[in-house]
Amino acid sequence: MVAALEGRAGGFALEIVPECDSTSSRLLETLPPDDGRIHVLAADRQTAGRGRRGRMWQSWPGAGLTFSALWRFAPSSLVPAGLSLVVGLAVARTLEDLGVEGVQLKWPNDVLIHGKKIAGILVELNSGRGRAPAAVIGIGINLNLPTGATVDYATGVTDLASCLAAPPGPNRLLAQVLVQLQTLLDVYAVAGFGALRGAWLQRNAFADLPVRIVGEALELAGTCAGVDEDGALLLLTSAGMQRVLSGEVSLRLA
Ligand code: BTN
């Protein structure tokens, strides 16, 4: 594990537990000290894994890698714009380095393989309480889903075992994602999402396609025109270009 961190082990405080409710809930609650390291909690199994928009993130023994990382960002940025897209890019690059083909990103931060979801990301901000503002980055990657696992995603789901003849084990994969994440967060901290936008756009699953965005209060239809420097989705609608800050994207079939 430490070897796979490629000499960067000192940059992380790492804990792996057999079971917890949710690695993100644990980090948000305990809020580890600000010692300059990225604090990481991984669990073999979560009993109450959380997904975006109030959904659950299910886990089966050995079926996935589930972990969260606490990252502290500059107090000057109120909201770390585009952070969740950067995390998606880190997961995408890790999978590509392993030889996975057809890796795509679905705004804001799902990772797809040939259109099917392989990883989900949940970024939550801590209120600060007098400390440096922090983001808890929760990542779930499907490794080997049990046959017949029912996961309610419009895209359908896939796992690493279906993509690679010899997939890495969870610890090795964790180390590889952490190396990518740290590399991209270093760029992001200095230059913002704008410096990584091109790399994100190259993998945009819905580039130039007709999509529907379902948000809390509204539904929008248009053509996906990429993302801007803040990571907002650009949607070309009949009323012109619109910036979308949150919502769920789905392909709008003709
Ligand atoms: C989504 O696609 O809806 C986001 C899923 C995020 C799941 C991960 S698993 C590790 C971390 N702990 C959680 O409870 N959720 C995130």
Ligand 1 nearest atom to the CA of residue 24, by list position: 12
- 240 C-alpha to center of ligand 1: Å? 34
- Residue 123: other Cβ atoms inside 10 A: 22
| 43 CA closest ligand 1 atom index | 10
pLDDT in tens, the chain (254 residues): 667 777 888 899 999 999 999 999 999 999 898 898 999 999 999 999 999 888 899 888 889 999 999 999 876 666 788 999 999 999 999 999 999 999 999 999 899 999 999 999 999 998 655 667 899 999 999 999 988 777 777 778 999 999 999 999 999 999 999 999 999 999 999 999 999 999 999 999 999 999 999 877 778 899 999 999 999 999 999 999 999 988 778 777 54
* Centre of ligand 1 from the C-alpha of residue 191, in Å: 27
Rounded to whole angstroms, how far apart are CA atoms 69 and 43?
Answer: 12
Strand (E) positions, the chain? 12-20, 38-46, 64-72, 103-106, 110-113, 116-126, 134-142, 210-214, 219-227, 233-237, 240-244, 248-251
Ligand 1 site-directed mutation target among 15, 24, 56, most atoms within 8 Å of CB: 24
* Ligand 1 neighbours by CB, cut-off 6 Å: 22-24, 46, 49-52, 55, 57, 66-68, 110, 120-122, 138-140
Distance 138 CA to ligand 1 centre (A): 5
CA gap 134, 111 in Å, rounded: 23
